Amino acid sequence: MDAPLKAKSGHQGTAMSLAPLGHVLYSRVMRHDPAEPEWFARDRFILSCGHASILQYALLFLSGYGLELEDLQSFRQWDSATPGHPEAGHTRGVEVTTGPLGQGFANAVGMAIAERELTARYGDDLSHHTFVVAGDGCLMEGISHEAASLAGHLGLERLVCVFDDNGITIDGSTGLSCSDDVIKRFESYGWRVLVGGAIANDLDELESMLNRAKESSGKPTLCVLKTTIGDPSPSLSGKHEAHGNPFTADHVAEAKAAMS
């Protein structure tokens, strides 16, 4: 919250609601080594909803990837290590440049294909999982439909997508423009679907769901996670204003008080 406040720009609402998920991924589930970010057998993480970049930067900072507190304080500033959207090759630990919704999801499918080819050629020492976090907007985009269909067709079982189902766009409810049944759509593409429900703040349940997703099934896995954007803000939780507008100092203070 502090970084977007200082920048007077940013999308902290999604980052706030996904913070427990990010913590579990980086500290309990993913196989990675901050000291060797190019380790070939590392699990890959792609934030398809790249506007929530402050979440990834905070996780990289806490995990020891080399970001400093000053980098977080320079969020969205010219020539900083923490630009508005993640950039591969710019920030240590960022696998994919994301921003246009759905692009990161498609990148994740491509990376899962690459993992299969590498493992087939060089053996299981290079095997790894690809984790992608995608929001409602990502799954509205045509590129995600095409890539999801291909992933199901190929049976990319080491691909795990966490669907951040918060029901909110920058303009209001997702119901303004979309009424798809995401679960049925992905099942028709040949994916295994795990419905986590409202477990966004339950670290143990999140870990259990993600570990189940890693189990071999012959299919890629979609984990459906019901979240509340802006949680735990007393004023902005669940509201579209939490999406694209930086919180005011008062909003930040009351959200911190709610967590204390």
Residue 169 CB-density burial (10 A; 0-12 exposed, 13-18 middle, 19+ buried): buried
* Structural domains of the chain, count: 1
Evaluate if residue 229 carries a pLDDT over 90.
yes
> What is the domain-level CATH number for residue 68?
3.40.50.970
75, 6 in Cβ contact below 8 A? yes
Q: Which domain holds residue 166?
A: 2-248
- 23 in a domain, yes or no? yes
pLDDT at 131: 99
- 17 in a domain, yes or no? yes
Instruction: Give the β-pairing of 159-165 and 221-226.
Output: parallel
pTM of the model: 0.96
pLDDT at 246: 83
45, 30 in Cβ contact below 8 A? yes
Coil, helix or strand at residue 197: strand
- 259 in a domain, yes or no? no
pLDDT tens across 38-79, in order? 999 999 999 999 999 999 999 999 999 999 999 999 999 999
Average pLDDT over residues 77-89: 96
pLDDT at 187: 98
- 255 in a domain, yes or no? no
43, 32 in Cβ contact below 8 A? yes
**Percent of residues, the chain, with pLDDT higher than 70:** 100
pLDDT tens across 93-115, in order? 999 999 999 999 999 999 999 99
Average pLDDT over residues 229-255: 91
